[in-house]
Amino acid sequence: MPARTWKLAVASALLHSSLGLARYNDVCSRIATSLSASSALHSPGNDSFTKLSSHWTSSSDESPACVAEPRTTDDVAKILKIVAKTRTPFAVQGAGHATNRGFSSTEGVHISTQGFTSVEYNDTKKTVTFGAGLTWDKVYEALEPHGVNVAGGRAPGVGVGGLILGGGYSWHTNQYGLTIDTVEAFELVKPNGEAVEVTHESDPELFFALKGGGNNFGVVTKFTMKTFPQGKIWGGMITYGHPDTFAAVTAATAKFSAEVTDPKASLLSTVTFYQGMPLINIQLFYDGPEPPAGIFDDFLKTESAASTVATQTFSSMINNVPAGALHGVRGAFLGFAAPAYSLDFLNAVNEQAFTNGAEFTNSSLVFLTLVSEPFLQDILSHNKHDTAYPFNRAEMYTPFNIFIAWADPSKDEWYKQEIEKIRDVLQAKLIEEGYEGVTTAPVYSNYALWDAPAERLYGSNLPKLQEIKRKVDPEDVMGLAGGFKITPKAMIRDEL
């Protein structure tokens, strides 16, 4: 590009950025004057502005013009009407666990749901209604005195909103199905500002769409879920640090996946390369004070470096998961559908984690982990209604996850390409084992990279979701927000 042309391009970009910022600031002023006294609007430099717009991974952050913190559905409605009328980009963020930049971040108006934190247990109906600004650990703690629980996230700090609207897996998946299978109602502010309670009885189409359809249909402010009795559980994390133990642990994981049919039993296998060290962490869970003999014996008899396994409350187990240790790094999730966990496949997982981890160490790698999540084959049979995710309930695919964290911002695109290579190698291994459907199976949106096509997320459900979108959001207001969009091409507006 000639120097003069390049200078003109830069000047034009700076001019558009300046004009955009001025417009966004005007929109923020309009929002500030419209909000009720119970809500708040935060500007750059304010501590609440930083807290409410930051994410678990720093690579997900953007610098918004303002942060709106509504505490009522009326105020959410006012904000949506203003951004809709002015066609202003916006974001909706709960706890900020998304790793895709621009999904719950924006340079426009940032809407935080952290003002919605109520928890109301209904002992008669055995349901709980809770705000979209909560994290799962806070919900579990509130329910513990009642002796009940819900099927939710498996680590502290994970927000309720993103997990539910994306589909959701929990420690209780084998017993109760996906998290969305136990949702009874959504409190939703539609893009036109109307606040409604969405149930299967009140609006079966929209109820279907919200169960895995993301933020395409409005802003959810509360969820109502079924509860179930919860007493003491047995579980925790075992860390294996000596390479001589890895073969035994891997064989035990393959055996568990193939043989254990007790719906109260679950595990996660995380094969990790961290600060130059290969590790295997196994998170064990049994929904009772002690597991039957034989289920976890192979893990317990193998020499470990550390263990938090004990009979304890569910909350204490969750709060002992060291998820906060990586807060603030750059990072990305990448998931794909895995139908089974053979010993050969798990050995390939180990090789990919340890070989690539060692290779990436000189490229600002902080953490590389590959997570196997074996579930029972009937986990998709718990819901009597159709759901946006997964689009195929005839076959069970577990959400295998790759997570990578790094320090150097210049490596963002490079690391994306590298974990895609890891995915391709492992998918090829599954195809070699006869699982041809892995390249077309439902992809779990909470583990999907930003450029995953809607067809892989929603498959045969996509046309139905797009028709619901036309009815609920004809002006494509939610298209102004980030996330995986299902907007039909005919509805997409040129906002420039």
Strand bridging mode 90-93 / 119-122:
unpaired
pLDDT tens digit string along 23-68? Answer: 999 999 999 999 999 999 999 999 999 999 999 999 999 999 999 9
How far, in Å, CA of 479 to CA of 495, rounded?
A: 10
For residue 382, what are the CA distances in angstroms to 47, 176, 206, 277, 376? 44, 6, 20, 40, 12
pLDDT tens digit string along 284-313? Answer: 999 999 999 999 999 999 999 999 999 999
pLDDT under 50 in the chain at which residues? 1-16
Q: What is the pLDDT of residue 17?
A: 53
Instruction: Give me the domain span that covers residue 23.
Output: 13-112
Q: What is the pLDDT of residue 14?
A: 38
- 94 with 22, same domain: the answer is yes
CATH of the domain at 99: 3.30.43.10
409 contact partners, CB below 8 Å, separation of at least 6: 59, 330
Mean confidence (pLDDT) of the chain? 94
Q: What is the pLDDT of residue 19?
A: 52
How far, in Å, CA of 296 to CA of 307, rounded?
A: 14
Q: Residues 255, 258, 261, 267: is their CA dihedral positive or negative?
A: positive
Q: Is residue 389 one of the residues assigned to a domain?
A: no
Q: What is the pLDDT of residue 495?
A: 65
Q: What is the pLDDT of residue 3?
A: 45
CATH of the domain at 159: 3.30.465.10
Q: Is residue 30 one of the residues assigned to a domain?
A: yes
- 23 with 68, same domain: the answer is yes
Q: Find out whether 251 and 343 touch, Cβ atoms under 8 Å.
A: yes
Q: Find out whether 340 and 435 touch, Cβ atoms under 8 Å.
A: yes
Question: Considering its fold, how many domains does the chain have in total?
Answer: 2
Q: b/e per residue, 40-69, with b = 16+ CB within 10 A?
A: bbbeeeeeebeebbbbbbbbbbbebbbbbb
pTM for this predicted structure: 0.94
- 54 with 77, same domain: the answer is yes
Q: What is the pLDDT of residue 327?
A: 87
How far, in Å, CA of 113 to CA of 300, rounded?
A: 42
| Number of other CB atoms surrounding residue 18 within 10 Å | 10
